A = this chain, B = another copy of it.
Amino acid sequence: MKFNLLGTDPNSEARAGEFITAHGKVETPIFMPVGTAATVKAVNQQQLKDDTKAEIILGNTYHLNLRPGTNIIKDAGGLHKFMNWDYPILTDSGGYQVFSLADIRKITEEGVAFQSHIDGSKRFLSPESSVDIQRILGSDIIMAFDECTPYPCSEDDAATSLKLTHKWLKRSVDHFNGTESHYGFDQTIFPIVQGSVYNKLRVESAQFVSSLNCHGNAIGGLSVGEPHDLMYEVTETVCAHLPAKKPRYLMGVGTPENILECISLGIDMFDCVMPTRNARNGMLFTWDGIINIRNNKWRNDHSVIDEKGTSFVDTNYSKAYLRHLMVSNEMLGAQLATLHNLSFYLDLTKQARAKILEGTFNEWKNMVTPQISSKI
């Protein structure tokens, strides 16, 4: 995978770039919609590409391994073919979901024994098996297997966990290097910086991760409940210790405000369930602020959903109609709201990129941030 750094913002650490995968180019900074179970919820693949302008999506190894299972995805010829998405895919390692969803039986240095949250079946995930699964999924970007610390977490616990994570990252990368793609196209692997909110541990981890010399690097263990200022502080610290010429992926972040702020700190890639999950509850992100479309105030408002929006839903449907769908529990409500939110998130990173290339990102970010984080 090749990353080209195309421009930097003079008044922040923001960068514009692009990376090339076997399934096409991705322009950074980029937001990656989450497609947990081989589907970005409520959106079909044609809409995902043509309407929301998604360039790369994320799949969840934990979920896909349980259902439909690797044998079926392998028979389909990989996740791209299985889900009819011919553009880049990044998959996580499954570790985060094992710790958040499954009933954990035992963590050892070897890996994690757990029970499926779907059928209770006994499973085991290790750095090696996670890479094996992601090889079968055929993701363009494989994530190394790590342990994600909760928040809060004592410094001692974070340090102990980090030791294990570093061993697991090394084994992930070694196993990746010792195996090959099943489908004849290149895959790559990103290791993950951990260390909770402790700068000393984060610096140590960033240096270790850098030493693995992969084509991109990720920051995990943030957006797990810590205050935003702490998230920004850790992100800034870590970015300063990760190589500038490789993409930096901040996992699981976040609100539109978080994304702009973290772009200014040097992050290139983001994923979050927020635009999709909150859409299903009626929360719309717009350039003018955040709308709860279920609110009674919209019931007879026949103005378009978002006149600044880039999706066809924004200018073809009214707020009153979308509210009606939501309060009537009509599926189309979740569908339209999801298209809107994903389009907004993709427009957000696209506009950020344009401003970086113009050299005006930081001023622009400071100008739009109060607006996009306000409640309408």
On chain B, the residues within 8 Å of A43 by CB distance are 332
- Which residues of B have CB within 8 Å of A317? 84
Chain B residues contacting A368 (CB-CB under 8 Å) are none
Q: Is the CB of B321 within 8 A of A84?
A: yes
Interface 9-residue window, one of A67-75, A153-161, A180-188? A67-75
* A320→B37 contact, CB < 8 A: no
Which residues of chain A from 313 to 335 have a CB within 8 Å of any chain B CB? 313, 316-318, 320-321, 324-325, 327-328, 330-332, 334-335
| Assembly CA distance A318 to B325 (angstroms) | 30
Which of A184-237 touch B at CB < 8 Å? none
Known: A300-B71, A300-B75. A42 touches B320 (CB 8 A): no
Closest B-chain residue to A302, C-beta based?
B76
Interface residues of A in 85-139 (CB under 8 A from B): none
| Complex contact B42–A321 (CB within 8 A) | no
| CB proximity to B under 8 Å, residues A7-48 | 37-39, 41-46
- Does A82 lie at the interface of the complex (its beta carbon under 8 Å from any beta carbon of B)? yes
Interface size class of A (residues with CB under 8 A): 35 or more
Select which of B68, B72, B84, B334 is within 8 A of A316 by beta carbon: B84
Contact, CB under 8 Å: B332 / A41? yes
A72 in contact with B299 given A82-B320, A84-B321 (CB within 8 Å): yes
Q: Is A335 touching B44 in the complex (CB atoms < 8 A)?
A: yes
Residues of B within 8 A of A364 (CB): none
Q: Is residue A336 within 8 Å, beta carbon to beta carbon, of the partner chain?
A: yes
Contact (A37, B328) CB under 8 Å given A299-B72, A300-B71: yes
Given that A39-B325, A320-B82 are contacting pairs, would A332 and B72 also be in contact in the complex, using a CB cutoff of 8 Å?
Answer: no
- Kindly state whether residue A83 has any CB partner on chain B within 8 Å: yes
- Judge whether B83 and A46 touch: CB under 8 Å: no
Q: Are A299 and B68 in contact (CB under 8 A)?
A: yes
Tell me if B67 and A335 are in contact (CB < 8 A). no
Taking each of A84, A324, A330, which has the highest tally of chain B beta carbons within 10 Å of its own beta carbon? A324
- Chain A interface, >50% SS class: helix
Rounded to whole angstroms, the CA-CA distance of A316 and B44 in the bound complex is 11
Bound CA span A50–B235, Å? 46
Residues on B with beta carbons closer than 8 Å to the beta carbon of A327: 67
A82 and B41 in contact, given A75-B300, A300-B75 (Cβ under 8 angstroms): no
Query: What distance in Å separates the Cβ of A139 from its nearest Cβ neighbour in chain B?
Result: 17
A37, A44, A67 — which one has the most chain B CB atoms within 10 A of its CB? A44
Q: How far apart sit A220 and B302, CA to CA, in the bound complex (Å)?
A: 35
Q: Is the CB of B83 within 8 A of A312?
A: no
- A147 nearest CB across to chain B (Å): 27
Name the distance in Å between A338's Cβ and chain B's nearest Cβ: 9
Nearest B residue to A317 via CB reads B84
Within 8 Å CB of A83, what residues of B?
321
Contact B320 A68 (CB under 8 A): yes
Task: Tell whether, in the assembled complex, residue A302 and residue B75 are in contact, meaning their CB atoms are under 8 Å apart.
Answer: yes
Asked whether A324 lies within 8 Å of B84 as measured between CB atoms, the reply is no
- Compute how far the CA of A304 lies from the CA of B72 in the bound complex, rounded to whole angstroms: 15
Mind listing 5 A-B residue pairs with CB under 8 Å?
A67-B327, A76-B320, A82-B318, A84-B321, A335-B335
Using a CB–CB cutoff of 8 Å, the interface residues on chain A facing chain B are 37-39, 41-46, 67-68, 71-72, 75-77, 81-84, 299-300, 302, 312-313, 316-318, 320-321, 324-325, 327-328, 330-332, 334-336
